[in-house]
Amino acid sequence: MFELSRRLEFSAAHRLHNPAFSDARNRELYGVCNNPHGHGHNYVLDVTVRGPADADTGMVMDLNRLAVLLDELIFQEVDHRHLDHDVAWLSGRVSTAENVVAAMWERIAPRLDGLLYRMRLWESRHNFVDYLGPDAS
Amino acid sequence: MFELSRRLEFSAAHRLHNPAFSDARNRELYGVCNNPHGHGHNYVLDVTVRGPADADTGMVMDLNRLAVLLDELIFQEVDHRHLDHDVAWLSGRVSTAENVVAAMWERIAPRLDGLLYRMRLWESRHNFVDYLGPDAS
Amino acid sequence: MFELSRRLEFSAAHRLHNPAFSDARNRELYGVCNNPHGHGHNYVLDVTVRGPADADTGMVMDLNRLAVLLDELIFQEVDHRHLDHDVAWLSGRVSTAENVVAAMWERIAPRLDGLLYRMRLWESRHNFVDYLGPDAS
Amino acid sequence: MFELSRRLEFSAAHRLHNPAFSDARNRELYGVCNNPHGHGHNYVLDVTVRGPADADTGMVMDLNRLAVLLDELIFQEVDHRHLDHDVAWLSGRVSTAENVVAAMWERIAPRLDGLLYRMRLWESRHNFVDYLGPDAS
Amino acid sequence: MFELSRRLEFSAAHRLHNPAFSDARNRELYGVCNNPHGHGHNYVLDVTVRGPADADTGMVMDLNRLAVLLDELIFQEVDHRHLDHDVAWLSGRVSTAENVVAAMWERIAPRLDGLLYRMRLWESRHNFVDYLGPDAS
Amino acid sequence: MFELSRRLEFSAAHRLHNPAFSDARNRELYGVCNNPHGHGHNYVLDVTVRGPADADTGMVMDLNRLAVLLDELIFQEVDHRHLDHDVAWLSGRVSTAENVVAAMWERIAPRLDGLLYRMRLWESRHNFVDYLGPDAS
């Protein structure tokens, strides 16, 4: 069993804000991340597929195909965008790293034949989140 | 002569847009950086002072004092903010890396007794700008 | 289930030396790390909590609260210190990465409501240790 | 239980090509990695051993002994070499990251008393593979 | 005056070998870099243009145009190639970092209207070369 | 003209303290860097030589010879040491980055035939100092 990972970088703006909360509650909960005009990051996304290596090709899957999928499904959608205003499939979710990575999972997993194993999203070099999918215990 | 540098990191949103240009011209000129809702970066700023080392202290200047100044004059103003909407001293300038670093120079230089020598601003690991001040030839 | 990680950096000195061993045995065992006057590192500590994301906040836990806890319980105690001489809760342990990270776990875990999942301590970019707590099998 | 990791870097050339496939199939499968004269990387290898820390030494194993083993068994064999032409124990395998890391596992595992737990091989900062050995499920 | 830099990464193989020297001389001079089948690197190239920022656009030059030029003139030519066998404009030069960066300068400079100021080529994180062009003193 | 740089990393302890000053003055001046038992860093040293590339070899100088010199004159002396107690040629100087890099310059320059151009010493990723030698204006 191998775990093969591909890294993607994108630059985006976002703001942590839940409209169901009062302004005071939002500020208390999200701190500076709740600033009204938003802030931004150079995000880094590590996408990991897991499986045996094919005996003939020596690969878990075609890494170039993975790269193309990530470009089409993620990079073209979020790079140089505002995650809260510009990305339909993030709409209605507070754009915490947890929620963003889970939405990205939903988008990629159906295209990866059950191989998707883990996604790690870095907001900055100071914090990141790992997600193993809705079925991981 | 020594050049002593201190690094600062901050996360901010911005948008490249000159209201004096048409929308079409802005889009042509700034590309994805002109997206209406903005995008963002984990910026890195390297501030360099230049001078001899004091014979007794062994320092060009007190690095902790430099760090405190940068925190007060830069970090507290721009971290987790939108550079175009939240920062008075960036107002009226297109927030290119060139313009941002020059504005930061104006803000810091008067507090550094002629020692300020160079500022480097990274927008991402893919591009950065160096500025040596308005008097450099 | 999400794993949310926060990174902390600190600079410290230490020396690997077990007073129960002879000088020759210490030198043989710890090599250059046993040099009498010690050496030092820019340590990097990644602290990971694990749990579901709250449906309303979108967070496993408040990342700012985690950052404040790490500052108070770890950074203020070890940054710019000698781990063997200045840190009471490391006293009596050889300051290997394994022992240091385990002592840090003991210090943080009681404050994290069962969420603490993994701690990774880098001594340098060449070696690091992961610890999953005393109950991990 | 601790997981102790040591990092090794080496520079090597390689080409992805399976002589059992047609040229067209090789080109389709491996893309630019199939270029006839090969390409190269600054590889990074993270080798992880897993076990309890010895109560007296505070170490899972002697990190210097691990470093010496990696230098002898890996670095001296692959650094500044062509993986397909110069390394006997890689001969006959397509030099995908999966196959290379598995071959390195076979070479190191017998010398590590059952402690070897995981090997991660980075081809570049954009992709890496993790391997947990032939018995991992 | 601003210095604006753009970073490019590519993976390539090469071998240091001067056919005008004996094999013994090549081996003595270039060491492991002379291995017959070559080795490789993940090269990093920082290209710097220098000039005033345009008062209206706030830019030294259009960074996207620079990126497109570098992709066309450099990346498409050298990425996943063998520098000695696959790149016509490197032919007949020993592929030291000095010679490679000078050849890249010759290729890019005519397209940059006198703005090209410095090129830095990293072979690995352990060594790099800066070049300021044939006219720098 | 080329500037060729080689990077060296070492781990060391040090303490900023001038015995000619009072304890209070030392504490005020050096802050946490004055802690009595010292602290430490993973230092990074970039050594740059400057000159034309030899027409036959394509090199400013033999990079391997530079690496061997740096290992012998610097790394073997300071790695896993306490800069204030273990290094004769640093004795009597406060171990600021400025003083340390200047002492290293004195040690290396006589062996480099006038080619030594710049030395950059990083104490951490947050600060570094550049030195161009005693004759630079």
Model confidence at B137, pLDDT cuts 50, 70, 90, reads confident
Average pLDDT over residues A7-24: 98
- State which residues of chain D have pLDDT below 50: none
pLDDT at F73: 98
Q: Which residues of E touch B95 (CB under 8 A)?
A: 58
Q: Which of C39, C79, C123 sits opposite F13 (nearest CB)?
A: C39
Q: In whole angstroms, give the CA distance from residue A82 to residue B35.
A: 9
Shortest CA distance to B33 belongs to which of B54, B18, B52, B45?
B18
Residue F136 lies in a domain: no
Report which secondary-structure segment, H or E, holds C10: strand C2-14
- CA-nearest residue to A17 within chain C is C57
How many domains does chain A fold into? 1
Q: Is B100 within 8 Å of chain A by CB?
A: no
For B90, how many CA atoms within 13 A lie in the half-sphere containing its CB? Answer: 26
The pLDDT value recorded for residue C137 is 75
Is residue B137, in this structure, part of any structural domain at all? no
Residue numbers in C near D120 (CB within 8 A): none
Q: Could you give the percent of chain E with pLDDT greater than 90?
A: 97
**Phi then psi for B131, rounded to 5 degrees?**
-135, 135
Asked if the structure places residue B79 within a domain, the reply is: yes
> What number is the average pLDDT over the span B105-126?
97
Say whether pLDDT at A47 is over 90: yes
How many residues can be counted in chain D?
137
List chain E residues with CB under 8 Å of B31.
Answer: 64
Q: Does residue E46 register a pLDDT over 90?
A: yes
Query: Is residue C83 assigned to a domain?
Result: yes
Please give the residue that has the higher pLDDT: either F104 or C135.
F104
Q: Please report, as a single letter, which amino acid is at residue D127.
A: N
B59/F contact by beta carbon, under 8 A = yes
Q: Which chains touch E (3 or more CB pairs under 8 A)?
A: B, D, F
Q: Hey, is the C-beta of A1 within 8 angstroms of any chain D C-beta?
A: yes
What's the pLDDT score for residue A97? Answer: 98
- Mean pLDDT for the stretch of residues F65-85: 97
Cβ B20–E56 below 8 Å, yes or no? yes
F59 and E127 within 8 Å at the Cβ level: the answer is no
Within-domain flag for D136: no
How close F31 gets to chain B, by Cα (Å)? 8
Number of H helices, E strands in chain C: 5, 5
Position E116 scores a pLDDT of 98
Please tell me the distance from the alpha carbon of residue C27 to that of residue A67, in angstroms, as a whole number: 49
Q: Please tell me if residue E130 touches chain D, with a CB cutoff of 8 Å.
A: no
Q: Hey, are the CB atoms on B94 and E58 less than 8 Å from each other? A: yes
CA distance B108 to A36: 27
Q: F2 and E131 in contact by Cβ < 8 A?
A: yes
Distances (CA, A) of E43 to B40, D42, E10, E36, F29: 27, 8, 5, 20, 42
Which residues of D are known to be catalytic? 33, 80, 123
Flag whether the ipTM exceeds 0.90.
yes
Contact: C35, F124; criterion CB under 8 Å: no
Q: Closest Cα to residue F49, out of E128, E31, B2, E121? A: E128
Residues of chain C with pLDDT under 70: none
Query: Is there a domain that residue E63 lies in?
Result: yes
How many residue pairs bridge chain E and chain F with CB atoms within 8 Å of each other? 54
- Contact pairs from chain B to chain E, CB under 8 Å: 54
Tell me if chain B has a CB within 8 Å of the CB of F102: yes
Q: How far is E55 from chain F (nearest CA, A)?
A: 32
Q: State CA A83 to chain mean position distance.
A: 11
Amino acid, single-letter form, for residue D46: D
Q: Per residue in E6-18, pLDDT tens?
A: 999 999 999 999 9
Chains that touch C (3 or more CB pairs under 8 A): A, D, F
Beta carbon pairs, C and D, within 8 Å: 54
Exposure class string for C15-43: b at 16+ Cβ within 10 A, else e = bbbbeebeeeebeebbbebbbebbbbbbb
Taking only the tens place, the pLDDT of each residue in E89-104 is 999 999 999 999 999 9
Question: Which residues in E24-47 are b (16+ Cβ under 10 Å) and which e?
Answer: eebbebbbebbbebbbbbbbbbbb
E123 is catalytic: yes
Q: Determine contact: A88 vs chain B, CB below 8 A.
A: no
Distance CA A43, CA A101 (A): 11
**Torsion A97-D45-A64-D38 (CA) sign:** positive
Q: Is residue A13 part of a domain?
A: yes
Determine the pLDDT at residue A18: 98
> The domain containing residue C108 runs over which residues?
2-131
C125 at D interface, C-beta within 8 A: yes
Partner B contacted by F137 (CB < 8 A): yes
Residue F137 has pLDDT above 90, yes or no: no
For residue B61, which phi and psi values (nearest 5 degrees)?
A: -155, 170
Q: What pLDDT shows up at residue A57?
A: 97
Which residues numbered 13-32 in D keep a CB inside 8 Å of some CB on E? 13-14, 32
Tokens representing D29 are 């499968």
Q: Which of F48, F58, F64 sits opposite E96 (nearest CB)?
A: F58
Residue of B119, B113, B118 lying closest to B62 (CA atoms) = B113
pLDDT of res. D136? 86
Mutate to test the interface with A, among D126, D131, D135, D137 (most CBs of A within 10 A): D126
Amino acid E137: pLDDT: 75
Q: Does an interface of 3+ CB pairs under 8 Å exist between A and D?
A: yes
Contact call for D82 and E14, based on CB within 8 A: no
**Residue D102 CA to chain centroid, in angstroms?**
7
For residue F61, what is the domain's CATH number?
3.30.479.10
CA–CA dist F13, A26 (Å, integer):
44
**What's the pLDDT score for residue C132?**
97
Q: What angle do CA A109, A114, A116 make, to 5 degrees?
A: 55
In contact, D12 and D40? CB cutoff 8 Å: yes
Chain B hits for F99, CB-CB cut-off 8 Å, are 53, 58
Cα–chain center distance at B3: 18
Pairing of strands D2-14, D81-82: parallel
Give the CB-side neighbour count of residue E68, counting CA atoms within 13 A.
Answer: 7
Establish if E136 belongs to a structural domain.
no
Cβ-nearest to C13 among F9, F39, F86: F39
Which residue, chain included where needed, has tokens 């940068």?
B70
Q: Let me know if E85 is a catalytic residue.
A: no
pLDDT at B132: 97
Tell me which H or E stretch contains C66: helix C63-70
- From F11's Cα to the closest Cα of chain C, the distance in A is 6
Q: Dump pLDDT digits (tens) for A34-44.
A: 999 999 999 99
DSSP, collapsed to helix, strand or coil, labels residue E116 as: strand
Give the mean pLDDT of F113-119. Answer: 97
Residues B39/A11, Cβ–Cβ less than 8 Å = yes
